[in-house]
Chain A
Amino acid sequence: MLKFFAKRFGILLFTLLVVSFLVFLTFEFSPTDIARSALGQFATDKQLELYRIEHCLQWPFLHRYLSWLGLAPNCAGEINGIFQGYFGYSYQYRTDVDVFIWDRLGNSAVLALVAFAVIAPLSIILGVAAGMREGSTLDRLVSLFSTITTSVPEFGTGAILLTIFVVWLKVLPGTAPLEDSGGWSIASQMVLPVATLTAYYLGYLVRMVRASMVEVMTRPYIRTAVLKGLTFQAVVIKHAMRNALITPFTAILLQLNFLFTSVVVVEAVFGFPGFGRMLVQASLRGDVATVEAASLFAVLVVVISQVMGDFVYMLLNPRIRFA
């Protein structure tokens, strides 16, 4: 087991390194002039030149990457980089990245977790209900519903929900700045973003649970349980569900990657102050330190959840050994 974690940890570090290098590299090919976007369009050539020297933008690419990593002296002449826990300087916000990034990450995490808390039980209930009798009316309805909700993009769902609940019914606020605005509570601001995320994400998981449930229901041990004289309810809950949830459980963790995407979009739709919007703006302005920090966090969460998924899968399924 120790070997399993050691190997995964190694892969995680390698992935983070490769990703951070690739992000740095793409910014190298960027048409965005950092000095220009930091100082504005009225800055003189002299000012731009001074800014570049002050922030060491004229250094060769590899040197800047290494100093960002903390393996080479940075602009101030000291070794202080990601290995020392310093995320770098944001050209866009004119301050260190860790001053503002925790708030943004926290907001996004709250959004994702609340959505997750709604999605997980709901998808299990719907998926099991649909999959326990394949081809039934309920199954067909749930399948159709999940196909449609998953096919409507988040901004489409957002537009429809906004139209119904904000414009027509006027029962919910249309934006979620997470501060007191127009007398709407924070909880009410969270409703539509969470609903949008749920709508998009739920269908996929329902299909996973359903497919797994359908497969389990054809197994011999289910037939045995039925022939033993157990009620259908007992068969489903005690025998089928436990086995049917192994695959979707790991799928839930493996799909966190895509939940991230949805979170970014939902943040854009509802003006939610999360890390996704920050990231889009930062990449538009060539703010490499912010993009690096946000990407690394995203990769970290994704890879750790994948390792957890693999781990739990092995715990739940004794046939698969640690490798």
Chain B
Amino acid sequence: MSAPTSATSGGKKAKSQVGWWATIRLLRESPAGMVGAGIVVFWCLVAIFAPLLAPYAPNANQFDVGPVASPSFQHWLGTDDQARDILSRIIFGSRIVLTIAPLATLCAYVVGCLIGLLAGYYRGWVDTLLMQVCNIILSFPVLILYVIIMVKFGPSALNIIAAVTFVASPQVARLVRSQTLELREREYVAAAKMRGESAWYIMLVEILPNARGPLIVDACLRTGYTAITIGLLGFLGVGLRPPDPDWGGMIKDTYGFLLGGQVHMALAPAFALSSLVVGFSLLADGLREISLRD
């Protein structure tokens, strides 16, 4: 987590435990960040305690009320076109989003950090080659890439993660590269070289931890957008396989009923997804705000 105290005084090693608490304390001063953190924590808790919170099984048909039932006391958000309880599906759907989105972001970061560090540290032809590859991927319209990857390799969580990694790692690499180009000129890098440390040690231990400030903000934002991507793939019909609840797929399945006036079925997952992404965005805003403060 970005500790603003050590982020600016680059040379010092992170005081990790102190840093975490300092960040959380500082975040309290940013109302938007607090709201964002609250929303994200809320959804995390929902995901963890899903079996306890959900009133019904997510894939079970509720024959007592039938399909397309409006919200009632038995079914707070009504039932969908297959008579499944929407609230339970949203609660269980949070598990899927909150597993895949952070995992995909993490994978994109591992690949992106490696590319960015190598390009920024070695410069020269390594930089030119890696960045040219990244530029080619970046000039490819993102969604076409997603659709082609998902359609060609089949819908599964692993393929979503692979697709997001492929698309997002060049963007991460650019960010890491620009940070590395700046940080490699610092005294502590020179000192490490003098000590005879290996290039990998310098990149991973000296440069990367000191570049973490902007990276954490970006990762937070990116996790939110990955959640959108997962929803998007579900909405276009190339996401996860039914029947397990996936927010995007839930919207897609019930979109046809929207114009008929049964709006609750599509709106509920749309609001769930939107609130999660808003949470991540506000949290990122808050983190950015406190990292700029000093």
Using a CB–CB cutoff of 8 Å, the interface residues on chain A facing chain B are: 11, 15, 18-19, 23, 26-27, 29-32, 143-144, 147-148, 150-156, 159-160, 162-163, 166-167, 174-175, 257-258, 260-261, 264-265, 268-269, 276, 279-280, 283-284, 291, 294-295, 298-299, 302-303, 306
Q: Contact check: which of B136, B141, B278 meets A261 at CB < 8 Å? A: B141
Are A257 and B153 closer than 8 Å at their CB atoms? no
Q: A15-B136, A265-B232, A280-B147 are in contact. Are A151 and B259 (CB under 8 A)?
A: no
Q: Which residue of A lies closest to B265 (CB)?
A: A159
Q: Measured between C-beta atoms, what is the minimum distance from B49 to chain A in Å?
A: 25
Q: Measured between C-beta atoms, what is the minimum distance from B227 to chain A in Å?
A: 9
Q: Contact check: which of B149, B238, B255, B285 meets A147 at CB < 8 Å? A: B285
A26 to B162, CA, bound (A): 14
Which residues of chain A have C-beta atoms less than 8 A from B280's C-beta? 151
Q: A147-B281, A159-B267 are in contact. Are A152 and B148 (CB under 8 A)?
A: no
Determine whether B199 belongs to the interface, using a CB cutoff of 8 Å to chain A.
no
Q: Which residue of A lies closest to B258 (CB)?
A: A162
Q: Measured between C-beta atoms, what is the minimum distance from A287 to chain B in Å?
A: 11
Are A302 and B251 closer than 8 Å at their CB atoms? no
Q: Contact check: which of B140, B147, B251, B259 meets A174 at CB < 8 Å? A: B259
Are A147 and B282 closer than 8 Å at their CB atoms? yes
Q: Measured between C-beta atoms, what is the minimum distance from A104 to chain B in Å?
A: 14
Give the interface segment out of B18-26, B57-65, B71-79, B269-277.
B269-277
Are B140 and A261 closer than 8 Å at their CB atoms? no
Determine whether B228 belongs to the interface, using a CB cutoff of 8 Å to chain A.
yes
Q: Measured between C-beta atoms, what is the minimum distance from B160 to chain A in Å?
A: 15
Which residues of chain B have C-beta atoms less than 8 A from A147's C-beta? 32, 278, 281-282, 285
Which residues of chain A have C-beta atoms less than 8 A from B277's C-beta? 151-153
Are B231 and A302 closer than 8 Å at their CB atoms? no
Which residues of chain A have C-beta atoms less than 8 A from B281's C-beta? 147-148, 150-151
Are A284 and B278 closer than 8 Å at their CB atoms? no
Determine whether B151 belongs to the interface, using a CB cutoff of 8 Å to chain A.
yes
Which residues of chain A have C-beta atoms less than 8 A from B38's C-beta? none
Q: A29-B153, A148-B278, A283-B148 are in contact. Are A257 and B138 (CB under 8 A)?
A: yes
Determine whether B126 belongs to the interface, using a CB cutoff of 8 Å to chain A.
no
A55 to B42, CA, bound (A): 56
Are A291 and B148 closer than 8 Å at their CB atoms? yes
Are A167 and B251 closer than 8 Å at their CB atoms? no
Q: Which residue of B lies closest to A29 (CB)?
A: B152
Q: Contact check: which of B140, B144, B235, B270 meets A265 at CB < 8 Å? A: B235
Are A260 and B141 closer than 8 Å at their CB atoms? yes
Are B274 and A153 closer than 8 Å at their CB atoms? yes
Place the interface of chain B in its size category.
35 or more
Q: A26-B149, A27-B152, A155-B251 are in contact. Are A268 and B235 (CB under 8 A)?
A: yes
Determine whether B129 belongs to the interface, using a CB cutoff of 8 Å to chain A.
no
Q: Measured between C-beta atoms, what is the minimum distance from A253 to chain B in Å?
A: 12
Q: Contact check: which of B139, B152, B255 meets A306 at CB < 8 Å? A: B139
Q: A26-B149, A265-B232 are in contact. Are A295 and B140 (CB under 8 A)?
A: yes
Give 14 A-B pairs besides A18-B136, A261-B143, A284-B238 with Cβ atoms closer than 8 angstroms.
Answer: A26-B149, A26-B152, A143-B32, A148-B281, A152-B277, A154-B232, A156-B271, A159-B251, A159-B266, A167-B261, A167-B263, A175-B259, A264-B141, A276-B143
Are B136 and A167 closer than 8 Å at their CB atoms? no
Q: A15-B136, A143-B285, A163-B263 are in contact. Are A295 and B273 (CB under 8 A)?
A: no
Are B235 and A155 closer than 8 Å at their CB atoms? yes
Which residues of chain B have C-beta atoms less than 8 A from A167's C-beta? 258-259, 261, 263
A151 to B248, CA, bound (A): 15
Which residues of chain A have C-beta atoms less than 8 A from B231's C-beta? 153, 155-156
A29 to B152, CA, bound (A): 7
Which residues of chain A have C-beta atoms less than 8 A from B261's C-beta? 167
A150 to B280, CA, bound (A): 12
Q: Measured between C-beta atoms, what is the minimum distance from A230 to chain B in Å?
A: 28
Are A151 and B274 closer than 8 Å at their CB atoms? yes
Are A299 and B140 closer than 8 Å at their CB atoms? yes
The 8 A-B residue pairs with the shortest CB-CB distance, nearest first, are: A156-B270, A261-B143, A151-B277, A152-B274, A298-B141, A151-B278, A260-B141, A151-B281
Which residues of chain B have C-beta atoms less than 8 A from A23's C-beta? 148
A148 to B251, CA, bound (A): 19
Q: Which residue of B lies closest to A291 (CB)?
A: B148
Which residues of chain B have C-beta atoms less than 8 A from A279's C-beta? 144, 147
Which residues of chain B have C-beta atoms less than 8 A from A26's C-beta? 148-149, 152
Are A295 and B267 closer than 8 Å at their CB atoms? no
Which residues of chain B have C-beta atoms less than 8 A from A144's C-beta? 32
A80 to B4, CA, bound (A): 61
Instruction: Mark each residue of chain B from 118 to 162: 1 if its CB lies under 8 Å from any CB of chain A, else 0.
Output: 000000000000001001101111111001110111100000000
Are A159 and B270 closer than 8 Å at their CB atoms? yes
Are B154 and A31 closer than 8 Å at their CB atoms? yes
Which residues of chain A have C-beta atoms less than 8 A from B153's C-beta? 29
Determine whether B205 belongs to the interface, using a CB cutoff of 8 Å to chain A.
no
Q: Measured between C-beta atoms, what is the minimum distance from B269 to chain A in Å?
A: 9
A-B contact pairs, 19 of them (CB 8 A): A11-B132, A15-B135, A23-B148, A26-B149, A30-B151, A30-B152, A31-B154, A143-B285, A147-B32, A151-B280, A154-B232, A155-B231, A155-B255, A156-B231, A159-B258, A166-B259, A260-B142, A284-B151, A303-B139
